[in-house]
Each structure stands twice: as C-alpha cells, then as structure tokens.
C-alpha cells in the first residue's frame, strides 16, 4: 500500500468477522496537499515548513494524522470517518467543549483550525490541534503500584470536581453559537460566545435517527431530559421499526430464535414515559447540569513520567446532563458487580502465598478493580460532595440505568428496559407515595427477570470467550494476531457444534454463530 493510500485506509488492526463492513466505515478520501496547506496556515507557516505527515492513530470514530514541521513542532489532524455521526455537530461540539475546558484550566489540546463541512478542499471534516506532551496512561496502568494508582485517581477526581464547578444553563452539548444552524437555536453560556445546543451523544444520531425531527435539546427542564430520548426511540420505531433478531447473536437461543417485535419495546417506552416524572429527585442540587468526559479511560489520559496528568483527550460526543443522570464512577474504573465495591468496603490485600501463578494474577486483578473503585469513590466524597450525595441516593443506579436503556437505539433486544421497569415497579415506594402508574404481573415479571439473568450470564460467557480468542467486542484483533485468532474462533465453532446432539440445535448454532460474517441488521 503506497503512503497516501495508507492515510485513507484502516491499518491498525483486523476484524475476524464482518471486516469488509468495518473497513468500509473507516475508508476516507482526502486531499493530502490541501490538508498540509490547511495545517500550515493554521500555524501561520508556509507549506514548505512541513517536514512530513504520517498516520499516528486510528480509533472507533476518527483517524489521527501527525504533521511535523522543520523546526520539530508537531500538530495533529483529527479526521472523522465518513460513517461518524453526527455530521458537523460532532466536530463543532468537540471544538467548543475543548475551548470551554481550556478556559477553566483543564489540560486539553489547543485547537488551531477546524471544519464541520466535508465538502471543504481537504475533503473531510477536521480538527487541527496541539499534540499534548506525555504518553497515554494506558501504556502503564496495569503496571502501577497501589500508591501510583491512587496518585492518578486523586488527580482525576480533582479534574472532575473542576468540571462539576462549571456553571451551565441547560442540558445538551456545547457549541459556538456561530456553528449552530438557524433552526437549532442554543441557550447561551454566560460570559462567553458558547452555548448549549443539541446533544451530540451518538445514540441521538445512530442509523436513520439522524433524519428524525425530534427534540435533541437544549433542555432547560430536567423532565425533558428524561422524556426526550424515549420520544426519539418511539419516533424511530414508528417510522423504521420492524421485527428483527437481537443484534447480539448469542442471545438468540434464549429467545427461542424468534424475531423481536418492536411493538413490545414501544409498550415499554410508553410505560417509561408514565413513570419518568417520578424519577426526578426533589433536591435541586441533583438537577444542576454538568459536563463529564464521555469515555474517561487510561488511553484518553496523558501523563508525565512522574504520573502528573498533562492531558485529557477525546471529548467527541460529550454531553451535559443533570447531575443525577451524569453521576457515577467512570465505566473503566468502576466495579459495581462486586459486593465489596457495591457496599463501599475497603478491599483487603489478597493472600497470595498458596496460589499458583494464574490464581495470583486473577486475585491481583480483582483486588486492583476493587481498590480503584473504592478510592475513586473515597476521593469524590470530600472533593465533590454533591456528586457523592447524588451517588448515595437509594435510587441512583436504577434511575441512571433505566434512563440509559430508554434512549438506547433499539436493535431487537426488548429485555433490558423491561427488566428496569420491573425493578422500578417493585421499588416504587422509593420514588413516590402515589400509586405506581404501571402494572406488571408476577408471572411476567419472573419471566422478564429470568431472561435478563440469562443475558447477563451470556455476557459473562462472551467476555471469557472473546478473551480466549483474543478479540474485542466487535471482533477486532491486532494484525499480528489475526490468523491465530481466526484459527481459535474456527476451532471453537467446530468444538461447539460437535458438542450438540440435536440436528436443530446444530443448525441454529451454525446459522447464528457470533464470530462468522453475518448480516448485522437481520
């Protein structure tokens, strides 16, 4: 592949199934010379000052190119893939979010230039930004001592406290007012040229949702924040919904290999809308809009050699939400499935003397997750008291979960939202003294919770299987591991089919095997 083609194609790994789809999503045509000129102008340099341009990284939504000047200056060009949504809004919101964060002293990249229009001379939307010092925390995270890990966690919570202190007038995403179209008016952020506009969170724009005429914000009233995601899904289901299999192929056996009916999810969303007003907390402090990082994990945190955080990157799709919906430990650092963590108990140091190497590794892994969860929460308590109080509400986790499931794009799985509704109905006394507006029979509740339990068990099995094959959740693997991963997946299928006695079971398992090429919209 010649150098320019390498800039257009994804080369940072392989997928063991549906690779043609993933590669097509990430293929980008761009005018390299126009990009170089754009970079030079953004730095007030000439094109001849550019020494070289190379690919630095490729993620799920963007390709990052590095431009090096003759004097050694390095800047980055972040180019969304053609498949990345929302068009225009994603770049505009990230640029404005970075400006807000820099104004409040957070270590994020400086933006030199950007374009929200892919018809520009470069042929792609782009952000030209500063290259931050340091290196990703992900390079070192699993090698850190307990003391070093605490040093990083304390800084993260301090940065989050700074985020929570920013006064914002509404929920949505952050933009320069000049970047919003005339039919999407924003709510001004005081003392700035920024505003709150439509949410740039991906779930609002997935598939045909980008063309829906729905209220994506800004929302000054928290009840609209609760209702609008469900109204968005109702609009999509009524326009585009059709019976389909669950997207997660491993769930299909537990569903009897039947197509899921969108009318079931419509009914669940209507039930959610009935209870939504009672999900609002009574304390005003939990209703205040706050901004959080959309994916706070070690690869988006840059540190110096002595573990000082020098950069926080990847703010694409960031959204502002009321505190009671935004609260919580970031997903990477949380460990809610563990009773020790759930009850906020300091984890004891594991006894390793009588364990073999594999058992030691597992014990240390569990301890590290408990240790991280405990101290993230322990640091929040004194540094961000409203956040801690929001997390301390008895309904906190269930409210956030049902809000999330009500707005998730429907892909044939009716169970998660149904299970949330069962749990809310059972704990209704925690939400209101009024009668619960929804009723679910005991038999139906038991059936739903049984299926939910089965899906959770399948999720756990899939985690182990993917680890054994050496792939991520979408089948990605490092290029050098591709052949071996494919071989492991093939052997796993052979062994799985051989273990089945009935012809129908073998036929269905073969037909719905998760790790073969397949139609993702069936």
CB 129, CB 312: distance < 8 Å: no
Q: Alpha helices, DSSP H only, in 260-384?
A: 262-275, 323-326, 339-342, 357-383
HEC profile for 394-410? CCHHHHHHHHHHHHCCC
CB 181, CB 175: distance < 8 Å: no
How many other C-beta atoms lie within 10 A of the C-beta of residue 426? Answer: 14
Task: Give the bridge partners for 78, in sequence order.
Answer: 64, 127
Q: What's the rounded Cα separation, in Å, for the pair 34 and 4?
A: 13
Q: What's the rounded Cα separation, in Å, for the pair 51 and 67?
A: 8
Give the CA dihedral 466, 143, 56, 5, nearest 10 degrees: -30
Q: Parallel, antiparallel, or unpaired: how do β-strands 309-312 and 135-136 relate?
A: unpaired
Q: Give the three-state DSSP class for 157.
A: helix
Concatenated DSSP letters for 223-250? HHHHHHHHHHHHHHHHHH---B--SSGG
DSSP symbol at 18: S
Task: Give the bridge partners for 194, in sequence order.
Answer: 176
Q: What's the rounded Cα separation, in Å, for the pair 417 and 327?
A: 20
Q: Please report the sign of the dihedral spanned by the C-alpha atoms of residue 439, residue 445, residue 449, residue 452.
A: negative
CA nearest 323: which of 266, 408, 380?
Answer: 380
Q: Give the three-state DSSP class for 219.
A: strand
Residues 6 or more apart in contact with residue 468 via CB below 8 angstroms: 488, 492
Q: Give the three-state DSSP class for 222.
A: helix
The pTM for the full model equals: 0.94
Hey, where are the domains in the chain? 3-131, 226-440, 462-511
Concatenated DSSP letters for 448-512? HHHHHHHHHHHHHHHHHHHHHHT--TTSEE-GGGHHHHHHHHHHHHHHHHHT--SHHHHHHHHHT
The domain made up of 3-131 has a fold known as: Phosphorylase Kinase; domain 1 (3.30.200)
Mean pLDDT by 10 residues, the chain (522 residues): 76 97 94 96 95 94 96 96 96 98 97 97 97 96 94 97 96 97 90 96 96 96 98 98 97 96 98 98 96 96 98 98 96 84 77 80 86 92 94 93 98 98 97 96 97 96 96 97 98 95 94 96 92
> In what helix (H) or strand (E) does residue 51 lie, and over which residues does it extend?
strand 50-58
Residues 6 or more apart in contact with residue 366 via CB below 8 angstroms: 338, 350
- Only one residue has tokens 């597992």, namely 362
Q: What's the rounded Cα separation, in Å, for the pair 251 and 154?
A: 39
Task: Give the bridge partners for 195, in sequence order.
Answer: 175, 188
Distances in whole angstroms, Cα of residue 112 to Cα of each of 41, 98, 115, 126: 9, 11, 11, 11
- Only one residue has tokens 């470069």, namely 122
DSSP symbol at 429: G
Q: What's the rounded Cα separation, in Å, for the pair 106 and 99?
A: 10
Question: Measured between alpha carbons, how far apart are the two ends of the chain, in Å?
Answer: 34
| Three-point CA angle 280, 282, 288, nearest 5° | 75
Q: What's the rounded Cα separation, in Å, for the pair 422 and 402?
A: 11
pLDDT of residue 353: 78
| Three-point CA angle 250, 462, 318, nearest 5° | 95
186: tokens are: 């924003």
CA nearest 217: which of 207, 206, 231?
Answer: 231
pLDDT of residue 3: 61
Q: What are phi and psi of 229, to 5 degrees?
A: -60, -40
Of the CA atoms within 13 Å of residue 390, those in its CB half-sphere come to 25
């Amino acid at each position: 592949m010649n150098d320019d083609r390498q800039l257009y194609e994804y080369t940072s790994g392989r997928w063991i199934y549906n690779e043609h789809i993933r590669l097509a999503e990430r293929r980008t045509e761009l005018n390299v010379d126009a990009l170089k000129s754009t970079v030079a102008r953004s730095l007030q340099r000439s094109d001849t000052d550019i020494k070289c341009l190379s690919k630095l990284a490729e993620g799920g939504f963007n390709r990052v190119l590095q431009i090096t000047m003759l004097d050694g200056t390095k800047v980055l060009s972040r180019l969304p893939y053609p498949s990345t949504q929302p068009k225009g809004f994603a770049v505009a919101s990230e640029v404005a979010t970075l400006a807000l964060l820099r104004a409040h002293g957070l270590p994020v990249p400086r933006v030199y230039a950007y374009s929200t229009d892919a018809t520009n001379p470069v042929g792609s939307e782009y952000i030209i930004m500063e290259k931050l010092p340091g290196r990703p925390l992900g390079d070192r995270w699993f090698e850190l001592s307990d003391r070093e890990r605490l040093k990083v966690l304390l800084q993260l919570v301090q940065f989050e406290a700074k985020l929570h202190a920013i006064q914002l007038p509404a929920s949505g995403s952050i933009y320069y007012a000049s970047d919003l179209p005339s039919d999407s008016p924003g709510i001004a952020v005081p003392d700035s040229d920024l505003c709150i506009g439509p949410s740039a969170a991906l779930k609002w724009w997935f598939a045909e949702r980008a063309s829906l005429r729905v209220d994506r914000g800004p929302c000054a009233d928290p009840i609209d924040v609760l209702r609008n995601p469900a109204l968005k899904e109702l609009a999509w289901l009524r326009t585009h919904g059709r019976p389909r299999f669950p997207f997660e192929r491993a769930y299909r056996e537990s569903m009897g290999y039947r197509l899921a009916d969108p009318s079931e999810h419509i009914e669940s969303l209507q039930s959610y809308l009935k209870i939504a007003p009672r999900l609002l907390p009574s304390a005003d402090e939990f209703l205040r809009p706050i901004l959080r990082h959309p994916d706070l994990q070690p690869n988006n945190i840059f540190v110096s050699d002595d573990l000082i955080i020098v950069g926080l990157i990847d703010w694409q799709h960031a959204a502002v939400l009321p505190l009671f919906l935004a609260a919580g430990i970031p997903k990477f650092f949380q460990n809610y499935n563990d009773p020790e963590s759930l009850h906020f108990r300091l984890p004891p140091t594991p006894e390793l003397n009588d364990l073999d190497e594999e058992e030691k590794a597992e014990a240390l892994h569990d301890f590290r997750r408990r240790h991280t969860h405990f101290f993230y929460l322990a640091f929040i308590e004194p540094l961000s008291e409203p956040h801690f109080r929001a997390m301390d509400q008895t309904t906190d986790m269930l409210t956030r979960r049902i809000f999330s499931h009500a707005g998730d794009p429907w892909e044939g799985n009716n169970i998660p939202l149904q299970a949330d509704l069962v749990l809310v109905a059972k704990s209704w006394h925690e939400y209101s003294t009024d009668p619960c507006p929804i009723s679910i029979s005991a038999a139906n509740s038991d059936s739903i919770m049984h299926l939910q339990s089965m899906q959770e068990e399948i999720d756990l099995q899939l985690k182990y299987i993917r680890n054994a094959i050496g792939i991520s959740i979408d089948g990605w693997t490092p290029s050098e591991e591709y052949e071996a991963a494919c071989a492991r997946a093939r052997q796993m299928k052979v062994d799985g089919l051989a273990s089945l006695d009935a012809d129908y079971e073998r036929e269905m398992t073969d037909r719905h095997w998760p790790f073969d090429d397949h139609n993702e919209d069936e």
